């Protein structure tokens, strides 16, 4: 009997104490809706710091550091909309995806074959002009060229960018894309706007301690012209040296040159008139410092060198170096023409 | 001294006179009794003692009643003994405030031992809420009372340390071990988002509740801003209160309870009542304890040859070439010149700075009296030497109070308490001990500190001459006169004066040949006055009305001066003449303040037979820092309570002791800013026409609409007590808005003024609190066991920022640990790089498909590409570059759940008391761990190396590791793998701490009497014994309020004490 009442009491007790408890909890739930929602900040003062983009076609260009978010919550989402040409008509050539070569694995400059390099990149479909979804960086892919896309001096394309986060949305209207036509190699003497050649010569970057055969004077970079020739399709690069009479100089005369490591190429073919390598394009493949590039890695660097006994029996180490980039795949030839005097290889 | 002794003597003779008077009364009463009833009944003499059941100590002043109707027949003496003459077989009733009544039928016995049990019925406790005493039963607000007994037996400088984990919703973090400093105290979550400093040294502006000590308000925030943003002795005013003198502490949490503390009460109110005299025979109690403070487990370091070998190994393996490695070693004599006596050491630096100390505490309490006249004198001495060399606190205190009530109509209460704290801060500032931190992490290869070794900074810690004093005197006078039966007038005046001085001398031999005398002094005074008319009446025995009106005013003054003299003549002659005048400074600091506040308040309380309770209050507050356009703030509150156990349906429910449902709403304020923020200032503005001129200060634009911070709080609660105290349960839920927080806004330069302070920041705290007390054993059991547990869940949400922006990012300073204010989420978020792991090999690093480059980062100068062994940080915006745009919001530095568990167990003469506290769901940035790895960033440096072998770090390609490769020191500066602001070092700081464990033994009365004392009790206590945590840093509690584990903080000591409590 006693036990029964006790149990009943307990039950009652539970009910009595839970009802007000539930009421209290409910009260609090009602208050919560007055709180602000967790929403991103979108500052309408956010802006693109650059509104006209002028990439060079034929090479992959990433145009970054171009958006000032003005303390909006990151990441923002960017989207190119309504891209149109100078006539105001839509531009399908910039919407349609093309085959572009993208990197999948890191290139180190230590790869042992072209196949190993090629295994690190694949072909994907991308529109030629893209915006990175969350960083707002624009990309012009290397597959772009002036036969598809209108290049300067055409006034190019106009487009809008939609920028959003969950706190707001803004359209940045009338941004412009005015691509330069492709320049297949650097340095070059092409007019960037028209693509027409000028007569300016391409010179090597450094010539040191090179004496002229006839004049015995020091040669300078002005004494050498450099020519880039695309002699056909393929995957190679050839270096030739010509004397003042355009006769070939035997590359072997540049005897201190580190021929196997001149460029990141394979299957070196060295004759008395040229040196040829199988290479992967573009050159350099990736703009990182490697054994084959300048210190900043932006361009490939070739260095030809020899030594001789100079006046008074002094050993003179002569060198000529040249920094360059080639963006289009092909069988390329780089010719160094000594226009004033030939280098003196023999001892004094 | 002598004079005070005389005073005591005077008091006790007075007391004896009164006792004699009473004796006379009783004799006459007995005579009358004998003459009238001698025929009817035989009168017997009954002797005995009344003891408290929980500790077996005699209870003085217990009232003994007998007869019908009950009449007082005597009371117990100082040792709890009594001797009375009553009719044979009478029934005796023993009553004592706070204890259950005990009824004993004599049945022929004439020697009694009466056990009194503490009342478990919470609602009968009398509390003072809003300056008027009432029982807890008719108090509508959320409040918790802690008996002073729970705060004894543990020697601490600051009594708040002992309240940790005892009150649901009162979050106390003892986050500094510096003697005399106090930890942080939050009532119901965050009240301010203001941050001083940045990065690792960022500190949250303290928002401690208002303390009211015996009616004297004390704002713990003002004089003590962490001893950090200002100079000063760094002694918290709370450290000047001896814990032995505390009778009870009441924590008022909701807006109704704090409503009448209006102009200060927005952060909550803690009432501290000191002991009063209540025994007719004077009692002298002496409490002493000796305690040993030990440093926590110190970090292990690699010493001597081991350290040198590790450095050499790192250089030889990670330098670019063997030549460069050898050069690096050869250029560094610390590494190469191992035979040089200067470098051939294995110094234990931590041992130089940390120590185990023996400390003591003495407290004498003399008290006596009855309702008409009582007095208390408390004399205390506390000496604690810090576990860091050259730090410590000494406290001398003297407090006394007197209550005199010659008749029902008039009552006078006066108290005076004074305290002097003396401290040494070493080379730190009370909170941070950066000198010790840098000194104790010096390389073990360096020689131990001496003036001639290169470790000057380290030596500085030991020989800097630092002496600080903090003095406080509080006086309080309260008079009440009952004009008519229901109407009485009360007037209170009190004055609180604090002064602090700091004197530091840095000798030139360690301060770059430039000695420095620093002398600081400040004074702060508060004058407070309150005049109240109250009315209390009961109509028809069921309608109870209590109303009062009062006015209140504060006058506060503060001024600090400092003198800093550089290049004194020599290290022996420390001024005052001969210093370098060009580089020395001195004068009044700009923190001076002179503020006033005035208030008019009224309260009406009504209850119907104590069943339905209604409290209404309204308060007008004017503070001098409010803008002239809005001088008054109006603070209403309302409280409702339903004591449902008094309903007729529960009439027969014996199992229900009490049950009530209460709800309140109200507003409170806390003044913020200074008078200059509201009114502007005139400053020296340059020389015009050859004379100095005063012009408008263009620093701050006056804001004429500046208001105090306002908290608006809803509270709902439920109290239930079941089965005669077996189960007690309190549940509260609240929704607290903290609006009008002050924040400085910089203005565009064309405005003329630099900045303006506005009230545009708001946040909301909401949460639940639960307290539970269980007495599992039957009342009749010889064993007394009480277990209490409480917990509080608090969430805070930021609801408004200046200019209606949705988020503000605070710069992370040198350590990059940024803080984000963002609406709709917790107020203080960490902003960090998200560490997803460690790259097992270089192939695992993501490659930019367009450029072919690996994921990279730059420090401005040099760029590095990530490789195997580097940390994998999320690239949030997908640009394959790690930079500030990749920071993510991660973590909340504020704890979500806090609470505590305590258990009290007694059997016969033994008792065991255990207190634990816990904090759950809080994020800590583990700076010490980051630094442990960063030590390897420069193998040629002279810092200590802490072994990392037990940590899972990357060693060779293919390793799946938790921590990146620490040895790659050449790339280190470019990518900082162990940067502080990454989620790798954000850890869960949940912990369960065993705060105190006390074992006590009470000697048998007979044994004590043989020694000539009334009672004697010995106890031993361990304090801060162990912390259960998954946190990998040193101590999850010893971190700043913003969750930064600053490795230059003062570690919390562990203490073991042996104490003795004697009563004469």
Task: Please report which confidence band the pLDDT of residue B26 belongs to, taking 50, 70 and 90 as the band edges.
Answer: low
CB contact (8 A) between residue A137 and residue B852: no
| Predicted pLDDT at B41 | 60
Rounded to an integer, the average pLDDT of B394-412 is 89
Q: Is the dihedral of CA B450, B456, B458, B462 positive or negative?
A: positive
Closest in B720, B805, B852 to A103, CB measured: B852
Rounded to an integer, the average pLDDT of B748-771 is 90
The residue among A126, A149, A177 that closes a domain is A177
Residue of chain A with shortest Cα separation from B733: A24
Distance from CA of A74 to the nearest CA of B (A): 7
Distance from CA of B216 to the nearest CA of A (A): 35
CB contact (8 A) between residue B847 and residue A13: no
CA-CA distance, B87 to B93, in Å (whole number)? 14
Question: Residue A206, CB half-sphere, CA atoms under 13 Å: how many?
Answer: 12
Helix (H, G, I), strand (E, B) or coil at B297: coil
ipTM of the complex: 0.84
Distance from CA of B158 to the nearest CA of A (A): 36
Residues A173, A192 within the same domain: no
* Whether B797 contacts chain A with CB within 8 A: yes
Pick A252 or B53 by higher pLDDT: A252
All residues of chain B having their beta carbon less than 8 Å from the beta carbon of residue A141 are 850
- Asked if residues B594 and B560 have their Cβ atoms less than 8 Å apart, the reply is no
Closest in A9, A21, A75 to B718, CB measured: A21
CA-CA distance, A156 to A173, in Å (whole number)? 15
Rounded to an integer, the average pLDDT of B981-991 is 91
Tokens of A127: 């529109």
Q: Is residue A12 part of a domain?
A: no
Pick the closest to residue B334 from B358, B359, B370, B310 (CA basis). Answer: B310
CB–CB contacts below 8 A, A to B = 128
CA-CA distance, B252 to B899, in Å (whole number)? 17
CB contact (8 A) between residue A28 and residue B735: yes
Q: How many domains does chain A have?
A: 2
- Asked if residues B807 and B821 have their Cβ atoms less than 8 Å apart, the reply is yes
Tokens of B476: 């309080």
| Predicted pLDDT at A20 | 57
All residues of chain B having their beta carbon less than 8 Å from the beta carbon of residue A76 are 877
Query: In this predicted structure, which of A286-295, B455-464, B493-502, B776-785 has the lowest mean pLDDT?
Result: B455-464
Q: Is residue A10 part of a domain?
A: no
Task: Please report which confidence band the pLDDT of residue B121 belongs to, taking 50, 70 and 90 as the band edges.
Answer: low
CA distances in angstroms from A283 to A237, A299, A327, listed in the order given: 10, 7, 6
Report the Cα–Cα distance between both ends of chain B, in Å, rounded.
Answer: 21
Residues A192, A304 within the same domain: yes
The residue among A177, A209, A235 that closes a domain is A177
Q: Is residue A9 part of a domain?
A: no
All residues of chain B having their beta carbon less than 8 Å from the beta carbon of residue A9 are 653, 655
* Whether B853 contacts chain A with CB within 8 A: yes
All residues of chain B having their beta carbon less than 8 Å from the beta carbon of residue A121 are 852
| Predicted pLDDT at B226 | 42
CB contact (8 A) between residue A74 and residue B877: yes
CB contact (8 A) between residue A62 and residue B851: yes
Bridge partners, residue A322, by sequence: A302
Residues A331, A216 within the same domain: yes
Helix (H, G, I), strand (E, B) or coil at B358: strand
Pick B139 or A53 by higher pLDDT: A53
| Predicted pLDDT at B791 | 93
Residue of chain B with shortest Cα separation from A36: B824
Element (H, E) at B973: helix B972-975
Q: Is residue A28 part of a domain?
A: no
Distance from CA of A88 to the nearest CA of B (A): 29
**Phi then psi dihedrals of residue B910, to 5 deg:** -105, 145
Residues A157, A201 within the same domain: no
Task: Please report which confidence band the pLDDT of residue B31 belongs to, taking 50, 70 and 90 as the band edges.
Answer: very low
- pLDDT of B120 > 70? The answer is no
| Predicted pLDDT at B458 | 63
| Predicted pLDDT at B75 | 75
Please state the pTM of the whole predicted model: 0.82
CA-CA distance, B955 to B313, in Å (whole number)? 14
Structural domain including A266 reads: 185-338
CA-CA distance, A302 to A282, in Å (whole number)? 15
* Whether B851 contacts chain A with CB within 8 A: yes
CB contact (8 A) between residue B824 and residue A36: yes
Element (H, E) at B665: strand B656-670
pLDDT in tens, B241-267: 888 888 888 888 888 888 877 677 888
Q: Is residue A35 part of a domain?
A: no
Q: CB-based contacts of B384: which residues, under 8 Å, 6+ apart?
A: B155, B157, B179, B293, B357, B359, B392, B393, B394
- Asked if residues B251 and B1023 have their Cβ atoms less than 8 Å apart, the reply is no
Closest in A37, A133, A137 to B824, CB measured: A37
CB contact (8 A) between residue B847 and residue A139: no
Rounded to an integer, the average pLDDT of B849-867 is 87
- pLDDT of B158 > 70? The answer is yes
Residues A162, A212 within the same domain: no
- pLDDT of B653 > 70? The answer is yes
Radius of gyration of chain B (CA): 32
Pick B455 or B272 by higher pLDDT: B272
CA distances in angstroms from B732 to A17, A39, A152, B661, B918, listed in the order given: 13, 30, 73, 10, 19
CB contact (8 A) between residue A133 and residue B729: no
CB contact (8 A) between residue B843 and residue A102: no
| Predicted pLDDT at B307 | 87
CA-CA distance, B760 to B741, in Å (whole number)? 6
Q: Is residue A17 part of a domain?
A: no
Residues A223, A324 within the same domain: yes
Q: CB-based contacts of A100: which residues, under 8 Å, 6+ apart?
A: A60, A123, A124, A125, A126, A128, A141, A142, A143
Q: Choose, out of B643, B735, B850, B880, the residue to mutate when testing the contact with A (most A CBs < 10 Å).
A: B850
The residue among A145, A177, A209 that closes a domain is A177
Distance from CA of B1046 to the nearest CA of A (A): 28
Distance from CA of A206 to the nearest CA of B (A): 26
| Predicted pLDDT at A24 | 57
Residue with tokens 């009504």: B606
Report the Cα–Cα distance between both ends of chain A, in Å, rounded.
Answer: 129
| Predicted pLDDT at B576 | 77
CB contact (8 A) between residue A106 and residue B843: yes
Rounded to an integer, the average pLDDT of B422-450 is 74
Distance from CA of A28 to the nearest CA of B (A): 7
Rounded to an integer, the average pLDDT of B32-41 is 46
Helix (H, G, I), strand (E, B) or coil at B104: strand
Tokens of A130: 């893209």
Pick the closest to residue B214 from B168, B273, B167 (CA basis). Answer: B273
pLDDT in tens, B285-326: 899 999 999 988 888 888 888 888 888 899 988 888 899 999
Within the 120-139 window of chain A, which residues sit less than 8 Å (CB to CB) from chain B?
A: 121, 124, 132-137, 139
CB contact (8 A) between residue B852 and residue A32: no
The CATH number that applies at residue A142 is: 2.60.40
CB-based contacts of B327-332 (< 8 A; 24+ apart in sequence) = B328/B939, B328/B940, B331/B940, B332/B940
* Whether A64 contacts chain B with CB within 8 A: yes
Residues A67, A170 within the same domain: yes
CA-CA distance, B382 to B388, in Å (whole number)? 18
- Asked if residues A52 and A176 have their Cβ atoms less than 8 Å apart, the reply is yes
The distance from CA B208 to its chain's CA centroid, rounded to whole angstroms, is: 8
Pick B130 or B269 by higher pLDDT: B269
pLDDT in tens, B469-486: 888 899 999 999 988 888
**Phi then psi dihedrals of residue B36, to 5 deg:** -85, -35
Residues A162, A194 within the same domain: no
- What would the CATH number be for the domain defined by B2-116? 2.60.40.1120
Distance from CA of A120 to the nearest CA of B (A): 9
| Predicted pLDDT at B1 | 41
Tokens of B758: 């506005």
* Whether B716 contacts chain A with CB within 8 A: yes
CA-CA distance, B201 to B935, in Å (whole number)? 20
- Asked if residues B224 and B182 have their Cβ atoms less than 8 Å apart, the reply is yes
CB contact (8 A) between residue B799 and residue A36: yes
* Whether A75 contacts chain B with CB within 8 A: yes
| Predicted pLDDT at B609 | 83
Q: Is residue A6 part of a domain?
A: no
Residues of chain A with pLDDT under 70: 1-33
- pLDDT of B18 > 60? The answer is no
SS (HEC) of B920-936: ECCEEECHHHHHHHHHH
Q: CB-based contacts of A213: which residues, under 8 Å, 6+ apart?
A: A341, A342, A343, A344
| Predicted pLDDT at B35 | 43
pLDDT in tens, B208-232: 888 888 888 887 766 544 434 445 6
Rounded to an integer, the average pLDDT of B432-461 is 70
Residues A262, A303 within the same domain: yes
Residue with tokens 């004399």: B379
| Predicted pLDDT at B292 | 92
Closest in A37, A38, A104 to B847, CB measured: A104
| Domain edges within chain B | 2-116, 160-294+355-673+712-809+992-1028+1031-1063, 304-345, 836-871+927-979
Element (H, E) at B113: strand B111-116
Residue of chain A with shortest Cα separation from B768: A25
CB contact (8 A) between residue B733 and residue A25: yes
All residues of chain A having their beta carbon less than 8 Å from the beta carbon of residue B655 are 9, 13
All residues of chain B having their beta carbon less than 8 Å from the beta carbon of residue A73 are 806-807, 822
* Whether A4 contacts chain B with CB within 8 A: no
Q: Which of the following CATH numbers is that of domain B160-294+355-673+712-809+992-1028+1031-1063: 3.40.1360.10, 3.90.580.10, 2.60.40.420, 2.40.170.20?
A: 2.40.170.20
Q: Kindly report the average pLDDT of chain B as a whole number.
A: 83
Query: In this predicted structure, which of B126-140, B691-705, B926-940 has the lowest mean pLDDT?
Result: B126-140
On the question of a cis peptide bond just before residue B254, with omega within 30 degrees of 0, the verdict is: no
CA-CA distance, B1044 to A95, in Å (whole number)? 50
């Amino acid at each position: 009997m006693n036990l029964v009442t006790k149990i009943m009491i307990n039950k009652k007790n539970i009910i009595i104490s839970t009802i007000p408890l539930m009421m209290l909890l409910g009260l609090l739930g009602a208050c919560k809706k007055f709180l602000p929602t967790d929403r991103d900040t979108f500052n309408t003062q956010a802006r693109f710091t650059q509104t006209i983009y002028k990439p060079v076609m034929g090479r992959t260009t990433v145009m970054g550091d171009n958006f000032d978010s003005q303390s909006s919550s990151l990441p923002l989402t960017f989207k190119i909309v309504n891209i149109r040409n100078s006539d105001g008509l839509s531009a399908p050539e910039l919407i349609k995806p093309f085959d572009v070569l993208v990197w999948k694995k890191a290139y180190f400059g230590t790869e042992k074959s072209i196949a190993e390099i090629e295994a690190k990149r694949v072909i994907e479909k991308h529109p030629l002009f893209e915006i990175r979804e969350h960083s707002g960086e624009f990309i012009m892919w290397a597959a772009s060229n002036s036969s598809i896309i209108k290049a300067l001096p055409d006034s190019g394309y106009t487009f809008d960018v939609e920028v959003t986060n969950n706190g707001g949305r803004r359209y940045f209207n009338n941004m412009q894309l005015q691509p330069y036509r492709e320049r297949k190699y650097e340095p070059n003497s092409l007019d960037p706007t028209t693509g027409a050649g000028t007569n300016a010569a391409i010179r090597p970057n450094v010539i040191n301690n090179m004496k002229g055969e006839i004049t015995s004077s020091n040669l300078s970079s002005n004494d050498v012209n450099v020519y880039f020739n695309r002699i056909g399709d393929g995957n190679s690069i050839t270096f030739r040296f010509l004397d003042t009479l355009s006769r070939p100089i035997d590359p072997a005369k540049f005897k201190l040159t580190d021929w196997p490591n001149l460029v990141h190429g394979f299957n070196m073919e060295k004759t008395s008139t040229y040196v040829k390598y199988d290479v992967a394009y573009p050159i350099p493949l990736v703009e990182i410092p490697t054994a084959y590039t300048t210190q900043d890695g932006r361009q490939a660097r070739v260095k030809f060198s020899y030594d001789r006994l100079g006046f008074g029996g002094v050993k003179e180490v002569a060198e000529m170096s040249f920094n360059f980039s080639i963006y289009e795949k092909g069988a390329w030839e780089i010719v160094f023409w000594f226009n004033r005097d030939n280098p003196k290889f023999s001892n004094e | 001294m002598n004079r005070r002794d005389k005073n005591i003597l005077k008091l006790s003779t007075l007391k004896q006179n009164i006792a004699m008077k009473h004796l006379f009364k009783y004799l006459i009463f007995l005579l009358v009794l004998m003459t009238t009833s001698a025929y009817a009944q035989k009168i017997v003499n009954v002797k005995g003692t009344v003891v408290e059941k929980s500790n077996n100590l005699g209870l003085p002043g217990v009232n003994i009643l007998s007869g019908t109707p009950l009449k007082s027949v005597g009371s117990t003496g100082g040792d709890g003994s009594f001797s009375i003459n009553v009719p044979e077989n009478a029934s005796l009733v023993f009553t004592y405030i706070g204890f259950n009544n005990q009824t004993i039928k004599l049945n022929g016995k004439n020697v009694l031992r009466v056990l009194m049990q503490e009342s478990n019925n919470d609602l009968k406790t009398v509390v003072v809420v809003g300056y008027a005493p009432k029982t807890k039963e008719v108090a509508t607000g959320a409040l918790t009372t802690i008996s002073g007994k729970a705060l004894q037996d543990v020697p601490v400088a600051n009594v708040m340390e002992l309240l940790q984990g005892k009150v649901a919703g009162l979050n106390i973090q003892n986050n500094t071990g510096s003697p005399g400093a106090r930890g942080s105290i939050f009532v119901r979550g965050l009240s301010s988002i203001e941050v001083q400093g940045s990065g690792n040294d960022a500190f949250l502006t303290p928002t401690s509740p208002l303390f009211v000590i015996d009616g004297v308000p004390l704002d713990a925030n003002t004089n003590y801003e962490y001893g950090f943003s200002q100079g000063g002795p760094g002694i918290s005013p709370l450290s000047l209160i001896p814990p032995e003198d505390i009778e009870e502490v009441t924590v008022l949490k909701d807006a109704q309870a704090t409503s009448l503390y209006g102009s200060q009460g927005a952060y909550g109110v803690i009432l501290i009542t000191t002991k009063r005299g209540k025994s007719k025979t004077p009692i002298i109690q002496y409490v002493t304890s000796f305690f040993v403070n030990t440093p926590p487990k110190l970090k292990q370091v690699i010493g001597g040859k081991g350290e040198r070998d590790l450095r050499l190994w790192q250089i030889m393996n990670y330098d670019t070439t063997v030549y460069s490695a050898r050069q690096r070693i050869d250029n560094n004599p610390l590494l190469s010149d191992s035979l040089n006596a200067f470098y051939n050491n294995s110094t234990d630096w931590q041992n130089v700075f940390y120590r185990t100390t023996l400390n003591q505490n003495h407290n004498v309490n003399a008290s006596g009296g009855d309702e008409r006249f009582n007095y208390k004198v408390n004399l205390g001495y506390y000496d604690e030497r810090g576990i860091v060399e050259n730090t410590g606190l000494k406290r001398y205190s003297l407090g006394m109070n007197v209550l005199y009530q010659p008749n029902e109509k008039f009552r006078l209460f006066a108290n005076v308490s004074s305290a002097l704290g003396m401290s040494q801060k070493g080379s730190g500032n009370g909170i941070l001990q950066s000198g010790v931190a840098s000194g104790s992490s010096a390389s073990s290869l360096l020689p131990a500190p001496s003036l001639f070794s290169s470790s000057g900074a380290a030596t500085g810690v030991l020989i800097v001459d630092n002496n600080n004093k903090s003095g406080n005197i509080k006086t309080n006078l309260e008079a009440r006169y009952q004009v008519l039966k229901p109407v009485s007038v009360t007037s209170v005046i009190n004055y609180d004066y604090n002064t602090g001085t700091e004197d530091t001398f840095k000798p030139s031999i360690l301060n770059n040949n430039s000695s420095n005398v620093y002398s600081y002094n400040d004074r702060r005074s508060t004058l407070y006055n309150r005049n109240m008319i109250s009315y209390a009446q009961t109509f028809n025995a069921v309608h109870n009305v209590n109303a009062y009106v009062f006015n209140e005013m504060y006058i506060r003054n503060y001024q600090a001066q400092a003198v800093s003299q550089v290049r004194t003549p020599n290290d022996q002659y420390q001024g005052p003449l001969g210093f370098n005048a060009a580089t020395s400074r001195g004068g009044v600091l700009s923190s001076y303040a002179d503020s006033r506040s005035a208030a008019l308040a009224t309260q009406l309380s009504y209850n119907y037979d104590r069943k339905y309770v209604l409290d209404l209050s309204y308060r007008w507050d004017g503070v001098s820092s409010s803008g002239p356009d809005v001088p008054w703030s109006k603070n209403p509150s309302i409280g409702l309570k339903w004591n449902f156990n008094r309903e007729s349906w529960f009439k027969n429910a014996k199992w229900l002791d009490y049950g009530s449902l209460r709800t309140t709403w109200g507003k409170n304020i806390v003044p913020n800013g200074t008078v200059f923020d509201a009114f502007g200032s005139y400053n020296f503005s340059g020389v015009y026409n050859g004379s100095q001129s005063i012009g408008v200060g263009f620093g701050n634009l006056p804001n004429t609409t500046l208001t105090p911070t306002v908290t608006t709080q809803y509270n709902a609660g439920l109290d239930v007590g079941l089965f005669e105290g077996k189960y007690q349960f309190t549940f509260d839920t609240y929704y607290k808005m903290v609006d009008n927080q002050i924040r400085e806004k910089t203005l565009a330069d064309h405005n003329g003024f630099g900045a303006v302070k506005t009230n545009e920041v708001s946040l909301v705290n909401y949460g639940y609190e639960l307290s539970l007390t269980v007495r599992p054993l039957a009342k009749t059991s010889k064993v007394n066991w009480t277990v209490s547990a409480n917990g509080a869940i608090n969430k805070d949400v930021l609801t408004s920022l200046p200019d209606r922006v949705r988020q503000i990012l605070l710069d992370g300073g040198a350590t990059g640990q940024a803080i984000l204010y963002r609406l709709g989420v917790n107020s203080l978020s960490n902003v960090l790089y998200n560490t997803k792991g460690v790259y097992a090999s270089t192939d695992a690093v993501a490659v930019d498909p367009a450029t072919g480059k690996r994921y990279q980062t730059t420090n401005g100068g040099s760029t590095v590409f990530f490789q195997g062994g580097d940390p994998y940080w999320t690239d949030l915006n997908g640009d394959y570059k790690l930079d500030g745009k990749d920071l993510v919001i991660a973590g909340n530095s504020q704890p979500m759940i806090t609470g505590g568990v305590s258990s009290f167990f007694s059997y016969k003469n033994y008792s065991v008391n255990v207190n634990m506290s816990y904090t759950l769901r809080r994020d800590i940035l583990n700076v010490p761990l980051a630094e442990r790895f960063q030590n390897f960033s420069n193998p040629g440096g002279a810092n200590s190396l802490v072994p990392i072998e037990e940590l899972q770090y990357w060693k060779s390609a293919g390793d799946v590791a938790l921590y990146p490769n620490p040895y790659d020191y050449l790339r280190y500066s470019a990518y900082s793998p162990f940067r502080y602001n990454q989620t790798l070092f954000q850890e869960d700081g949940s912990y369960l701490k065993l705060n105190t464990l006390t074992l006590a033994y009470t000697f048998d009365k007979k044994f004590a009497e043989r020694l000539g004392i009334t009672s004697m009790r010995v106890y031993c206590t361990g304090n801060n014994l162990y912390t259960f945590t998954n946190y990998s840093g040193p101590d999850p509690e010893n971190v700043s309020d913003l969750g930064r584990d600053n490795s230059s903080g003062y570690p919390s000591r562990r203490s073991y004490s042996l104490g003795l409590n004697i009563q004469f």
